[in-house]
A and B are shown apart, each in its own frame.
Chain A
C-alpha cells in the first residue's frame, strides 16, 4: 500500500479518516475479508487471474484518447480521456467487482450482494456473478430503480434479484443501509461487493487498489505518447471509486494536480446538493469516519443530484484525507453544467458519456482554457451514457419512450 496510508499507526485510517464503524455482528466477517485480502493481494495466482479477467473479459487496458476537437475548441491544455466507458458493462465499476469477486470466490462464498446507485455497480456485480456462477442480489433505491429502469432490467437479465429500497430518501445511501442490513442477516456464504471507495476498512483500500489500474495504465500511456506526466487529472466523485483509481498512481507526484468533481445538484448553496467535501463536516457513518452532509445534530442529510451515481451524502475516507491535506482539490458541478457537458462532449467528440462522468467533463471545459497549450489534462470518462439518454431528454423537456 501507499506510504501515506501508513502515516497513522492504525493502518485502517487515512490520517484521521477511515476505521471500522460497523455493528459487532459484522466484525468477524470484516476481519475475515481483511485477512483474505491481505493474503491474496500479493498472491501471484490471484494477480494473474485478476489480470487475465481484466484484459480478456473486461477489455482492458482502456484507451487513453486524445480529444483533439475539444482541445481545439477549448483553446488551452491538451485534453485526454481515459475511456473507462469502453469497459465491458460500460463503466469503471467492473475493475473493482472482478477483484472483490475473486476474493469472495477464494473465501468460498457463493453469493454476492451489492448496493447500486446509477446501476453501473449493480450491473457489474450481476455480470461477474453470472460469469462465476454465483447467486446475486442487488439493493437499489426506489428513486433510482425508477430513473434507471434500463439498468434494473439488465441486472435481472443477468440473473440477479433487484430489491428496490423504500426506506429513507430511497437513493444510494439507503441502498448501502439495506445491503449492510442484508449482510448482517447472512454472512456465511455471502460477500458484500462494495462498489465505492467508502465503508469500513478494508473496503476503501480494496476499491483503491482494484481501481488503481486506471491510473497505472494512464501513467504508462501518457508517458508513451507525451513523454511526461499530465498537469492535471480530473474525475467525478460520489463515493469516489473512479476518482481514487484515477488519482492513485499520481498521489506521490506532487506536480500533478488532482481534481475531484462533486455533484452540486441545483447548486452548492442550496439544500439540493451532494457536494460533500465542499459542504460537509466530519462524521461517522456507513462504517467510516469521513466527511458527510449532515445537520448539527449528526443526522445524515438527504442529498440531491441529477446523477444517481453521485447522489451520496458521504465520500471515501481517502478523499477526505486528500482534501484536508490539500493534495487534491474538489469542486462542485451543478446539474445544469453536467447536462451541458453531456451534450457538448457528444457533439464535439461523438462520445455519449455517463452523466456522472460529465461532471468531470464540465470542469475540464472550465479548466482547459485557463491552461497553456503545452499543458496536459487527463479526464476519466468513468462510464458510458446510454443509461442517461432518456433522463437527459426529459431534463430538456423531451419525453422519449425507453
Chain B
C-alpha cells in the first residue's frame, strides 16, 4: 500500500500546513518538528509562489514574508533536509506548477525523492494537465495528490480513480482562508469518491476551530489546516497547544 495511504489506517489524519521560510529558515524547521511532535500525521509544506491564485490573504502574506527572508526552491529543500535530521514525519509539498516546471519536473521529483517527500499538492494542475509531471512522480514514487472541489461534479469519478496517497477535498468555493460554512456538497461528494476508490479523503480550506476539525473529520479520513496555522505562527501563538488540541479532537 502507498505509504501516505497507510497513515490513514485506523485513524483520522491531521495534516497541518506551513509556508516554507515564513518567517525564516530556523522557525520553519522548528515548526515542522513541533507539529510532528504534537500529533501531525503529515506535514504539508508550502513552497512560496509570487502569484498564489488559489490562496487567500493569510497565505499570500506568508509567501511575502518568505520572499522577504530570501526564500528560493533550494532553500526549501534545505529546510526539509534540516528537519529530516530530527523527524521522519511524512511531508508533502504544496507547489504551484511553475515552480516544479521551471526546476524541471524530473529534477524536482528526484530531489523530492532524495528528501523523502511523499507527495505533491499542485493547486493549478488539474487532472487533464498532469501527464508530464506524473511521469516523474511515478518514477520517483511520489504521490500526486488530487484535488476535488464542490464543483467537480462529473469529474469526481475520474479524478478519484486517478488518486494516490490521499484526496484533497476542497471544503468550499473560493481561496484558502478561514470560513464558518462549508459546502453542502461535501458529504455527497465524499460518498461518490468512496464508491470508486479506497484512497483516503482529507478535507481542507477554511478549517480553523477545534469544533470544525472534529465535525469535518467525521465526514472524511483527515483534515488539512493551513491559514489558521500560518496565522497562529505569524502571531507567535502556541503552535504545540493548537496542534495537540486538533489532533486530540479528531
How many Å lie between the Cα of A53 and that of B20 in the bound state?
52
- Chain B residues, CB < 8 A from A24: 123, 126-127, 147-149, 151-152, 155, 159, 170
Q: Which of B149-173 touch A at CB < 8 Å?
A: 149-155, 159, 170, 173
Residue A117 CB within 8 A of the other chain: no
A234 smallest CB distance to B (angstroms) = 31
Contact of A28 with B102 at beta-carbon distance under 8 Å, contacts A21-B126, A181-B175, A187-B173 already known:
no
The answer on a CB contact under 8 Å between B103 and A187 is no
B51 close to A177 (CB less than 8 A): yes
B34 within 8 A of A: no
The smallest beta-carbon distance between B93 and chain A, in angstroms, is 13
Shortest B155–chain A CB gap in Å is 6
Residues in A neighbouring B154, C-beta threshold 8 A: 28
- A173 B170 Cβ-Cβ under 8 A: no
Once bound together, how far apart are the Cα atoms of A297 and B100, in whole Å?
9
Most chain B beta-carbon contacts within 10 A, residue among A23, A28, A185: A23
> Contacts A27-B126, A187-B173 hold; do A294 and B53 have CB atoms under 8 A apart?
no
Question: Which of B60, B98, B153, B173 neighbours the largest number of chain A CB atoms within 10 Å of its CB?
Answer: B98
Q: Is there a chain A Cβ closer than 8 Å to B54's Cβ?
A: yes
Contacts of B153 in A (CB 8 A): 28
Closest chain B residue to A186, Cβ basis: B173
Whether A299 pairs with B173 at a CB distance below 8 angstroms is: no
- What's the minimum C-beta distance from B19 to chain A, rounded to whole angstroms? 14
Give the distance in Å from the alpha carbon of A298 to the alpha carbon of B128 in the complex. Answer: 22
Residues of chain A within 8 A (CB-CB) of B125 are 21
Query: Known contacts being A283-B98, A294-B102, A297-B102, is A23 close to B51, with CB within 8 Å?
Result: no
- Asked if B99 lies at the interface with its beta carbon under 8 angstroms from chain A, I say yes
Contact B155 A28 (CB under 8 A): yes
**How many residues on the A side are at the interface (Cβ–Cβ under 8 A)?**
35
A300: which of B98, B128, B129, B150 is its contact (CB, 8 Å)? B98
**Closest Cβ–Cβ distance, residue A172 to chain B (whole Å):** 12
**A185 and B174 within 8 A (CB):** yes
| Residues of B contacting A296 in the complex (Cβ-Cβ under 8 angstroms) | 102
By the criterion CB–CB under 8 Å, are A20 and B126 in contact? yes
- Determine the distance from Cα of A23 to Cα of B101 in the docked complex, in whole angstroms: 16
Contact mask A272-294 → B, CB, 8 Å, 1/0? 00000000010111110000101
Closest to B173 in A: A185
Instruction: Scan residues 23-61 of chain B and give those whose CB is less than 8 A from a CB of chain A.
Output: 49-51, 53-54, 60
Q: Assess whether B53 is in contact with A297, with CB atoms less than 8 Å apart.
A: no
Bound together, the chains give a CA A294 to CA B103 distance in angstroms of 12
For chain B, residues 70 to 119, give those with C-beta under 8 angstroms from any C-beta of chain A.
72-73, 97-103
Which B residues are in CB contact (< 8 Å) with A52? none
Residues of B within 8 A of A27 (CB): 126-128, 149, 151-152, 155
Tell me if A391 counts as interface (CB < 8 A to partner B).
no
The distance in angstroms between the C-alpha atoms of A29 and B175, with both chains bound, is 16
**How many residues of B are counted as interface, with CB atoms below 8 angstroms from the partner's CB atoms?**
37
User: Inside 8 A of B149's CB, which chain A residues have their CB?
Assistant: 23-25, 27-28
Within 8 A of A (CB), among B182-215: none
List residues of A (101-137) whose CB comes within 8 Å of B's CBs: none
In the complex, what residue of chain B is closest to A184 when comparing beta carbons? B174
Asked if A181 and B53 sit within 8 Å, CB to CB, the answer is yes
From A27, which residue of chain B is reached at the shortest CB distance? B126
Does A390 sit at the interface, judged by CB under 8 A? no
Give the residues in chain A near B102, CB-CB below 8 Å.
281, 283, 294, 296-298
- The verdict on B241 contacting chain A, using a C-beta distance below 8 Å, is no
How long is the Cα–Cα vector from A275 to B223 in the complex, in angstroms? 44
Provide the residues of chain A in CB contact with B51, threshold 8 Å: 168, 173-174, 177, 285, 300
Question: Least Cβ distance of B241 to chain A in Å?
Answer: 32
Task: Give Cα A185 to B155, complex, Å.
Answer: 19
Contact A20 B148 (CB under 8 A): no
List, in ascending order, chain A residues with CB within 8 A of B218's CB.
Answer: none
Residue of B with least CB distance to A285: B98
**Smallest beta-carbon distance A360→chain B, Å:** 28
Q: Is B138 an interface residue (CB 8 A)?
A: no
Contact of B150 among A25, A167, A292, A297 (CB under 8 A): A25
CB distance from A265 to the nearest CB of B (A): 19
A-B contact pairs, 9 of them (CB 8 A): A24-B126, A24-B149, A24-B152, A25-B150, A25-B174, A167-B60, A185-B173, A287-B124, A292-B98
Interface residues of B (CB under 8 A from A): 49-51, 53-54, 60, 67, 72-73, 97-103, 123-129, 147-155, 159, 170, 173-175
List the interface of chain A (C-beta within 8 A of B): 19-29, 167-168, 173-174, 177, 180-181, 184-187, 281, 283-287, 292, 294, 296-300
Q: A28-B155, A298-B103, A299-B99 are in contact. List 7 more A-B contacts (CB 8 A).
A: A21-B125, A23-B149, A27-B151, A168-B51, A173-B51, A181-B53, A185-B175
